[in-house]
């Protein structure tokens, strides 16, 4: 039986992207296995999702640490103790230190609700509407210390409709997030991604790979 890569998921809230990852990794053919869900918020519903799936959980409350460095060191210890080899950020609402990010270089994924490099940061859907763009979407990327930066793996397009507001657009983008995040994790866990000069190559083809299915 092929070894599955152990994954840790960091989150702070409800964890809908976590659920998409759990559902995908439930297949024995998926090359990754979620072994830990870790949150800075003991009330995060994502922890309950993990418990229902029989996945170990942990809480590291950032309020109990004097600074980001010591908090991140505690995160690192918990992840290492669980044997985690890939980290997925799924709505983890803490800024990670450069040292932590570098410790997981090319082994930590994030999903962002825009077609990066457009609309880094918050309120991506309203900003897209304000600019009148025809296409919006989401991106899975390898994490770097700079905000919403790093080699991009997969993107999914969502058309912006005339009747859209930020809420309706966000709902359709989230649907696509749930498609591409498990797919990107599969690519990384199966060793199909190589990074050269800050470009991710998927099976030898430079990314990001953009999926154009109507959203």
Quick one: DSSP state of residue 14? -
* Catalytic hit among 30, 112, 125, 136: 112
Distance CA 129, CA 169 (A): 9
**Cα torsion at 213, 207, 147, 114 (round to 10°)?**
-10
* CA atoms 205, 147, 165, 176: torsion sign: positive
Distance CA 47, CA 188 (A): 24
Q: Is 112 a catalytic residue?
A: yes
Given a contact cutoff of 8 angstroms between Cβ atoms, the answer to whether 6 and 85 are in contact is yes
Given a contact cutoff of 8 angstroms between Cβ atoms, the answer to whether 90 and 177 are in contact is no
Q: Which residues carry out catalysis?
A: 112
């Amino acid at each position: 039986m092929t070894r599955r890569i152990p994954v840790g998921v960091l989150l702070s809230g409800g964890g809908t992207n976590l659920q998409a990852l759990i559902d995908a990794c439930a297949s024995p053919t998926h090359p990754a296995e979620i072994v830990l869900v870790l949150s800075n918020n003991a009330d995060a519903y994502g922890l309950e999702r993990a418990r229902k799936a029989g996945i170990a959980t942990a809480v590291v409350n950032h309020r109990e640490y004097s600074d980001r460095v010591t908090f991140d060191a505690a995160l690192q210890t918990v992840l290492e103790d669980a044997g985690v080899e890939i980290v997925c950020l799924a709505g983890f609402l803490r800024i990670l230190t450069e040292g932590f990010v570098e410790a997981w270089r090319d082994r930590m994924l994030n999903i962002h609700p825009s077609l990066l490099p457009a609309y880094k940061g918050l309120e991506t859907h309203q900003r897209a509407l304000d600019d009148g763009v025809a296409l919006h979407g989401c991106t899975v990327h390898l994490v770097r210390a700079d905000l919403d930066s790093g080699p991009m793996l997969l993107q999914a397009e969502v058309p912006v409709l005339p009747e859209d507001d930020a809420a309706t657009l966000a709902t359709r983008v989230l649907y696509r997030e749930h498609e591409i995040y498990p797919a990107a994790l599969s690519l990384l866990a199966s060793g199909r991604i190589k990074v050269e000069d800050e470009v991710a190559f998927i099976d030898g083809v430079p990314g990001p790979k953009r999926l154009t299915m109507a959203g």
